[in-house]
Amino acid sequence: MTAYRVTQATPNHLLITLPGASLAPLWFLLLLLAILLFTTYGTSRTVKRVLQSQKTPAELQAYISRFRMVGTTISFGSIGLFWLISYSSGSIDLDRSANRATMRAKMTAFLPAQTLSIPLAAVDHAIVDYKPNAARIRLVTQSNDDLGYPMWSDRRGQEEAANAINHFLHPDADKN
């Protein structure tokens, strides 16, 4: 679902998109939420014990209800904020008519997208750079310069995207 995808492929235009998603895995967000909610509940029990002698049972119950509501709101808000901070999306756009190869990456929901481009005629081929836990697509030029995707990721589909770029750049290579 969050893999690199070829969304448009014509003889003059290739668009590869990376749908927006959080880099934090869902299991991690749920675990973090469970910890925050458990902490809120445990803390509210301690607050209840401390204030039991100072408030009436009705006042104490109202206070604990508000305490838990605020704690739960803060917990869900923290998870939402963490998701927005770790949000990423992007695209690779190769356009023969404009002679542009453009890479766009949005690395958090709060910052503007980073856009890099070079003339398409200068691009020789695409490769995938690998690190131990991540990879990124690079467009290598004829002068051995390159345009690397600004974001390293562990998302699937990068090899297929590089193959689609190479096929777009050299459509006659498959016929031989």
Summarize pLDDT for 11-36 with one digit per residue, the tens: 999 999 998 887 777 888 899 899 99
Query: In this structure, are 96 and 31 located in the same domain?
Result: no
Domain count, the chain: 2
Q: Are 112 and 129 in contact (CB under 8 A)?
A: no
Query: Are 70 and 154 found together in one domain?
Result: no
Quick check: 175 pLDDT over 70? Answer: no
Domain range spanning residue 122? 5-23+89-175
In this structure, the answer to whether residues 93 and 158 fall within a common structural domain is yes
Q: Confidence class of residue 93 from pLDDT cuts 50, 70 and 90?
A: very high
pLDDT digits (tens, 9 = 90+) for 32-66: 899 999 999 999 999 999 999 999 999 999 999 99
Q: Identify whether residues 11 and 40 lie together within a single domain.
A: no
- The domain that contains 142 carries what CATH number? 2.30.29
- In terms of domains, do 102 and 152 share one? yes
Q: Are residues 80 and 94 in the same domain?
A: no
> Are the C-beta atoms of residues 122 and 144 closer than 8 Å to each other?
no
User: 144's torsion region: left (phi>0), alpha (psi -120 to 50) or beta?
Assistant: left
Q: Are residues 75 and 95 in the same domain?
A: no
Provide the 10 A C-beta neighbour count for residue 100: 14
Shared domain check, 74 and 12: no
- Within 13 A of 174's CA, how many CA atoms are on the CB side? 9
Query: Is residue 176 pLDDT above 60, yes or no?
Result: no
* Boundary-marking domain end, from 69, 85, 101: 85
Task: Examine the domain organization and report whether 15 and 93 are in the same domain.
Answer: yes
Distance CA 29, CA 70 (A): 19
Task: With 0.85 as the threshold, say if the pTM is over it.
Answer: no
